Amino acid sequence: MKNQHLSYRSGNPVLTSNAFNLQSDYSDKMTIGGTVNKTFLTLMILVGSAYYSWTYISVTNILLFPSIIGALIVGIITIRKKIWAPITVPIYGVLQGIFLGIFSNLFNSMYDGIVITAISYTLCILFALLSIYRLGIIKPTENFKLGVAAATSGIAILYVVNLLMSFFGGSGIPLMDINNSSMYSIGFSLFVIVIASMNLVVDFDFIEEGAEKGAPKYMEWFGAFGLMVTLVWLYLEILKLLAKLNSRK
């Protein structure tokens, strides 16, 4: 059967063109169903960890920065040592969950109910795009992937600049301030959410191709990791957009 996927390019910094070490001699190969199961399991680990940190840790917020730094370190290890993914990805889920639980609690203390709304929107976007992708309504062509990758890279640069400005005592980029409820700031958040959503489409295609080409079984965990990175990004951007909208009231 002719391969319908054009390349392994993805806007997701995790699922790069070198992510799948594809060979034909693996006895136990990656499957889409296996990746879905690993994604669901990782999501459950993350949610459980987030619930715990929301309930017991967020009072002091002492683990907010250690958890995100730890998640970043484990994420880098996962990218560099993909064969360790069955061990590192669950650890990433725990650490990312701790961060998200504390971070979400901070937002919910400002605007009650905002977290449930953000979670609902994130899940709706996930299942809607998955359905659209499976129906073939959106086709991740080479130009589509290039556009998503370029936009994602540009947004990443803005994140770094904003972080550096804040670190050196500045106020950061105004468009990225959650207290900035201008139409420009809201428009920027909507743009980022669209790009994050399009990354999901590229990720679906990327994982499907990995399964078709016979990637090793541990890549199911790595594929789940890539999807979780995109989902967390999407959720955080929706949360920030809702905060901006609520600040207009």
* Domain membership flag for residue 16: no
How many domains does the structure of the chain reveal? 1
| pTM for this predicted structure | 0.86
- Selection from 204, 167, 160 nearest residue 11 by Cα: 204
* Domain membership flag for residue 26: no
The C-alpha atoms of residue 90 and residue 87 are separated, in whole angstroms, by 6
**What pLDDT, on the 0 to 100 scale, is given for residue 81?**
92
Which phi and psi angles does 216 have, rounded to 5°? Answer: -65, 155
What three-state secondary structure class fits 135? helix
* Domain membership flag for residue 41: yes
- Selection from 76, 32, 77 nearest residue 203 by Cα: 32
* Domain membership flag for residue 24: no
**What pLDDT, on the 0 to 100 scale, is given for residue 248?**
73
Helix, strand, coil percent content, the chain, rounded in steps of 5: 75, 0, 25
* Domain membership flag for residue 143: yes
* Domain membership flag for residue 13: no
Is the CB of residue 195 less than 8 Å from the CB of residue 11?
A: yes
> Both ends of the chain: CA-CA distance in Å?
56
* Domain membership flag for residue 9: no
The C-alpha atoms of residue 106 and residue 216 are separated, in whole angstroms, by 40
Q: What is the residue range of 222's domain?
A: 32-247
Is the CB of residue 215 less than 8 Å from the CB of residue 28?
A: no
**What pLDDT, on the 0 to 100 scale, is given for residue 83?**
93
The answer for residues whose C-beta is within 8 angstroms of residue 67's C-beta and 6 or more apart is 53, 95, 96, 98, 99, 102
* Domain membership flag for residue 15: no
Q: What is the mean pLDDT of each run of 10 residues along the chain (249 residues)?
A: 45 56 62 93 96 80 88 95 95 96 92 95 95 88 90 93 80 83 93 95 88 89 94 96 86
